[in-house]
Chains A and B, each alone.
Chain A
Amino acid sequence: MGLEDIPQDFADYFDINLGSAQVILSIAVMFAVVLPVMYLAKDKHQLPIIVSMFLVESLLVGIGWLPFWILIMTVAVTVMAIALLGSKMVTGE
């Protein structure tokens, strides 16, 4: 059984659809990695949290558990945060 097949087996076992199984498993994997990083970062450093989130999400998209557009959405949200901080720094407001 390959990594790509796990959501299908999960969905069959719990009798849910494949999309739901992919989301549930992806959230579990994300939390397993990002929560410890958040704890270690202790609200002081956001960069490791963002980087770890991107890495896990890329892994999940790469193995086919999450659709590609999730990554685009994450990029858009991250860029929005960067642009907000950047404009604040440039204009001093």
Chain B
Amino acid sequence: MASELRGFVFAVSFIVFFSAFLTTIPADFQGIEQEFDSITPIDPVLLSGFDDYANYSESAFVGWPIPDYEYDSMGGYNWQAIYASDNHFFLARKVLWFGLWLGAKLFADFINEEGINNGQSLSWAEIEADAIDGTHRYNLELENGDSAGGFVVFWNITEYPDPNDAWDNDEFYIVHGLGIGDSATTNIGNLIIGLLFLQIPDVPALVNIFIVVPIWANVIYVLWFLIKEMIPFV
């Protein structure tokens, strides 16, 4: 009995201290800022401050009648960009349930550099009105108040003065990025869940398994001990 109690104390201590220690690791340690080397050059000021990003253009959007582009694990979250048939963009963060997406999502508001909220859809007219020299950076705010990072649009490096024409010719570029402070792993709950379900980005799966096995073992031991103690005849 004493050895079981010792095991229980060990397991509880391990889980509590591990969670507590993880919260003390600064989010900045999860990677130095990435270089934007895979996209066409643009004013770097518009792209600064992103810890993780996705870049895409018209050719990435697939599906009918509402084309969308889904990109997973950007900043630790899964995303869906939608180009509605009435020429509006929408951007949403998928809401996962135990690692599974059942269709729930949080839409983002597009807030321009002057602080004016364009709402959850972004039209060509709004982009043209906001853009200076064919570029603009929107701040994204989700329905629940969380930041969804920045949304940079640009077509100034193309021969098309009109963004809609640039879009039709696959030369309207979008960069959606998250800053270090916005990335999912700054949230201790997400970091622990990511560890438990092998979803931490940039960590080799084998290493993740190596880390997570003792945690699962301790969780199972605690549950087993509690259940055993609650049932008197076991």
Contacts of B214 in A (CB 8 A): 76, 80
Q: For residue A86, which residues in chain B have a CB less than 8 angstroms away from its CB?
A: 9-10, 13
B85 at the A interface (CB under 8 A): no
A69-B203, A93-B6 known; A76 and B211 CB under 8 Å? yes
A68 contacts which chain B residues (CB < 8 A)?
A: 29-31, 202-203
B interface residues, how many (CB within 8 angstroms)? 31
CB within 8 A of A87: which of B6, B31, B211?
A: B6
Does B160 sit at the interface, judged by CB under 8 A? no
Q: Smallest Cβ distance from B186 to chain A, in angstroms?
A: 13
A-side interface residues, number (CB < 8 Å): 26
Total A-B pairs, Cβ < 8 A: 75
Query: Contacting chain A: which of B14-22, B76-84, B94-102, B149-157?
Result: B14-22
**B65 → chain A, closest Cβ, in Å?**
42
Is there an interface contact between B32 and A64, defined as CB atoms closer than 8 Å?
A: yes
In this assembly, does A4 line the interface, its C-beta being within 8 Å of a C-beta of chain B?
Answer: yes
Across the interface, name the chain A residue whose C-beta is closest to B7: A87
A87–B200 touching, CB < 8 Å: no
B-contacting residues of A (Cβ < 8 Å)?
4, 58, 61-64, 67-69, 71-73, 75-76, 78-80, 82-84, 86-88, 90-91, 93
Q: 30 interchain pairs (CB within 8 A)?
A: A63-B32, A64-B31, A64-B32, A67-B203, A68-B203, A69-B200, A69-B204, A69-B211, A73-B207, A73-B211, A75-B18, A76-B18, A76-B211, A79-B13, A79-B14, A79-B21, A80-B14, A82-B17, A83-B10, A83-B13, A83-B14, A84-B10, A86-B10, A87-B9, A87-B10, A88-B6, A90-B9, A91-B2, A91-B6, A93-B6
